């Protein structure tokens, strides 16, 4: 049995998570496995009931399940709260408390949407790679940090275990994908911390001799991702570089409503779309559920070791899109648009 905690959150969160839960139930029924989905409050929805964005009860439930599915949190109603009480603080807390040190973001171009990219279809068609971004170390956390009137400073520091564990995760993923290539991205020509990163990645690579490892400088990588994205299979990189490169990679594929993510730790994993709570369209049954449904595919691949089920979900998304069904965010001007529930039903039907 798979125990999943679902935390729909705010805005369009509950709408897209409802779609994702329909998909989980559909694959469970098809394959005959048992799934227990337990819903918990988080973000503004929790604040309204408990005066707290993240309760101990929700956190405890997340610690005691096989995977967490998150919608989105936040909205105008809670924007003026003090920083420590805001939804963003609760998001950082849940990631930290669950020890989620790796953020995975796929750049996958659906054939039916190949024209939706801002890049030429012959450049992006067939792109399918995964970015592993280190999430809990590097310059975003390093000490000392600060600024005064005349100087600002941050520290980019990595411990050996931090590099080892994300490199290992990336190589294992590459192995599960059929020994595809891993590209480690750094700035080793300028930064000592990057030289260290590179050394440790190469040491870990010794345990995966069947996998090709390439090193690339981050400036070149930014260029290569838009020039020829098909050359990549798995990218592994530090927090700062990954923050930027995963956004570039995501946008190759078109809309925010299409982009899933996974945040993985040693004992826990959380899956969520990369978009926010979209207050402008919340409650209107207009949101694209595909990012959240694809996050479920990542859950089956990474947390439940069922890549074939993940593929079925991706194939169902692809097959639904091939019929021409489009939510407003991915429709061409003048094209008929489908609702969240219609898009969900189209995908469930193909599972």
Q: Compare residues 27 and 53 and give the one whose CB is closer to ligand NAD.
A: 53
**Which residues, other chains included, contact 55 with Cβ-Cβ below 8 Å and sequence gap of 6+?**
41, 46
* 15 binding ligand NAD? (CB under 6 A): no
Identify the active-site residue in 66, 93, 140, 215.
140
The SS3 assignment for 184 reads strand
* 296 binding ligand NAD? (CB under 6 A): no
Site string for ligand NAD, 55-94 (x = CB under 6 A): -----------------xxxx---------------x---
From candidates 23, 131, 287, 294, binder to ligand NAD by CB under 6 A: 287
Q: Is 271 a catalytic residue?
A: no
Q: Compare residues 125 and 279 and give the one whose CB is closer to ligand NAD.
A: 279
To the nearest whole angstrom, how small is the minimum distance from the Cβ of residue 176 to ligand NAD? Answer: 27
Distance CA 65, CA 36 (A): 9
Identify the active-site residue in 219, 280, 311, 315.
219
Closest by CA position to 248, among listed 70, 348, 93, 118 = 118
Residue whose beta carbon is closest to ligand NAD: 276
To the nearest whole angstrom, how small is the minimum distance from the Cβ of residue 305 to ligand NAD? Answer: 26
Distance CA 204, CA 209 (A): 10
Strand partners, 338: 327
The one segment of 30-38, 136-144, 221-229, 273-281 that binds ligand NAD by CB under 6 A: 273-281
Distance CA 246, CA 133 (A): 8
Give the angle 252-258-263 at the CA atoms, nearest 5°: 95
Q: Is 187 a catalytic residue?
A: yes
Q: Is 86 a catalytic residue?
A: no
Strand partners, 72: 9
User: Do residues 203 and 232 make contact, with C-beta atoms less than 8 angstroms apart?
Assistant: no
Closest by CA position to 337, among listed 299, 288, 303 = 288
From candidates 38, 85, 247, 280, binder to ligand NAD by CB under 6 A: 280
* 256 binding ligand NAD? (CB under 6 A): yes
Please report, as residue ranges, which positions from 135 to 194 form the binding site for ligand NAD (by CB under 6 A). Answer: none
User: Would you call 318 exposed, middle or buried from its count of C-beta atoms within 10 A (0-12, 13-18, 19+)?
Assistant: middle
* 54 binding ligand NAD? (CB under 6 A): no
* 219 binding ligand NAD? (CB under 6 A): no
Distance CA 302, CA 2 (A): 13
* 133 binding ligand NAD? (CB under 6 A): no
The SS3 assignment for 200 reads helix
Would you say the C-alpha torsion 95, 97, 102, 108 has a positive or negative sign? negative
C-alpha distances out from residue 106 to 73, 187, 213, Å = 22, 22, 19
* 277 binding ligand NAD? (CB under 6 A): yes
To the nearest whole angstrom, how small is the minimum distance from the Cβ of residue 68 to ligand NAD? Answer: 13
Distance CA 262, CA 13 (A): 16
Q: How many CB atoms lie within 10 A of CB 32?
A: 6
Q: Is 47 a catalytic residue?
A: no
From candidates 276, 301, 313, 351, binder to ligand NAD by CB under 6 A: 276
To the nearest whole angstrom, how small is the minimum distance from the Cβ of residue 84 to ligand NAD? Answer: 15
Strand partners, 131: 105, 235
Q: Compare residues 133 and 187 and give the one whose CB is closer to ligand NAD.
A: 133
Q: Is 140 a catalytic residue?
A: yes
* 123 binding ligand NAD? (CB under 6 A): no
Identify the active-site residue in 22, 187, 233, 329.
187
To the nearest whole angstrom, how small is the minimum distance from the Cβ of residue 91 to ligand NAD? Answer: 6
* 119 binding ligand NAD? (CB under 6 A): no
**Which residues, other chains included, contact 333 with Cβ-Cβ below 8 Å and sequence gap of 6+?**
none
Identify the active-site residue in 207, 247, 280, 315.
247
Catalytic residues: 140, 187, 219, 243, 247
Q: Please report, as ranges, the residues that interact with ligand NAD according to CB under 6 A.
A: 12, 16, 72-75, 91, 256-257, 272, 275-281, 287-288, 291, 329
């Amino acid at each position: 049995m798979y125990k999943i905690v679902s935390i729909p959150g705010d805005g369009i969160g509950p709408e897209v998570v409802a779609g994702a839960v329909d998909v989980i139930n559909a694959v469970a029924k098809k394959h005959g496995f048992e799934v227990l989905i337990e819903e918990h409050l988080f973000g503004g929805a929790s604040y309204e009931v408990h005066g707290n964005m993240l309760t101990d009860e929700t956190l405890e439930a997340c610690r005691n399940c096989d995977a967490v599915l998150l919608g989105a949190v936040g909205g105008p109603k809670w924007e003026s709260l003090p920083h420590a009480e805001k939804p963003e603080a609760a998001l950082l807390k849940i990631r930290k408390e669950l020890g989620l040190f790796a953020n995975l973001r796929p750049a996958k171009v659906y054939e039916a949407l190949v024209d939706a990219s801002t890049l030429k279809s012959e450049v992006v068609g067939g792109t399918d790679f995964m970015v592993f971004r280190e999430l809990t170390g590097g310059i975003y956390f390093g000490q000392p940090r600060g600024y005064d009137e005349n100087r600002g400073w941050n520290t980019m520091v990595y411990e050996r275990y931090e590099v080892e564990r994300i490199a290992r995760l990336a190589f294992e993923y590459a192995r599960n994908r059929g020994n595809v290539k891993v590209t480690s991205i750094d700035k080793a020509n300028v930064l000592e911390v990057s030289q260290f990163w590179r050394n440790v990645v190469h040491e870990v690579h010794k345990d995966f001799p069947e996998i090709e490892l390439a090193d690339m400088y981050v400036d070149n990588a930014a260029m290569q991702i838009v020039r020829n994205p098909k050359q990549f299979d798995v990218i592994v990189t530090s927090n700062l570089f990954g923050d930027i490169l995963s956004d570039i990679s995501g946008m190759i594929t078109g809309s925010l409503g299409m982009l899933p993510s996974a945040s993985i730790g040693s004992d826990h994993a959380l899956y969520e779309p990369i978009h926010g709570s979209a207050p402008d369209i919340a409650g209107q049954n207009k949101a694209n559920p595909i990012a959240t449904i694809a996050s479920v595919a990542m859950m089956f691949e990474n947390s439940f070791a069922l890549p074939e089920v993940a593929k079925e979900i991706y194939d169902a998304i692809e097959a639904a899109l091939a019929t021409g069904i489009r939510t407003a965010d991915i429709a061409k001007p003048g094209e008929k648009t489908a609702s969240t529930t219609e898009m969900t039903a189209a995908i469930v039907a193909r599972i």
